[in-house]
Amino acid sequence: MWNQFRFHPDPNNKASAFAAAKAIRMGPLPSTEKLSIHRADEAPREIPRVLVVDDDRDMRELLEDMLDSLNISAHVVASAEEALKALEHAQPFDIMITDHQMPEMLGTELALSVTARYPTLPVVLMTAYRDDAVTRSEVTFFRMLDKPVSVCDLSETIYAAYKRA
């Protein structure tokens, strides 16, 4: 299962760390064991729609696999520009999860733009390296997740954001 390991990337080579994390996982959960976003004492809800933004292909695939194993609908894009287009043209999203370090626009900048247009959309920032720029950002994030993200942290964050909506 996903939450049986935690991977600590080499700061000089984070992309290979995520590729290795994907390679050593034990595969998706069988469909009969898929996790649900609702608690046992609540009625089942619609599947939450999550917009995932990450420029690293391996990380996008890893997150998409993790969300699929949680039975969560993910729309995964590679850039801030693609994320803004998806927000304008796709079905509404319940939460946006974005990487911080991206080439054309930082996750904090994307979040600032998104929260100005969609103030009720919870935004989660993922980062492998928390720095002062992230912690002093003008954006109030629903949560910040450290990479590598565990399936437990991911599902907990999405559940909390979805419950709030």
pLDDT in tens, the chain (165 residues): 344 334 444 454 444 444 444 444 444 443 434 444 444 444 455 788 999 999 999 999 999 999 999 999 999 999 999 999 999 998 789 999 999 999 999 999 999 999 999 999 999 999 988 776 666 677 789 999 999 899 999 999 998 998 876
The three-class DSSP label of residue 126 is strand
Domains and CATH numbers, the chain: 47-164 (3.40.50.2300)
Residues 6 or more apart whose CB falls under 8 angstroms from that of 18 comprise 7, 9, 56, 58, 59, 62, 147, 148
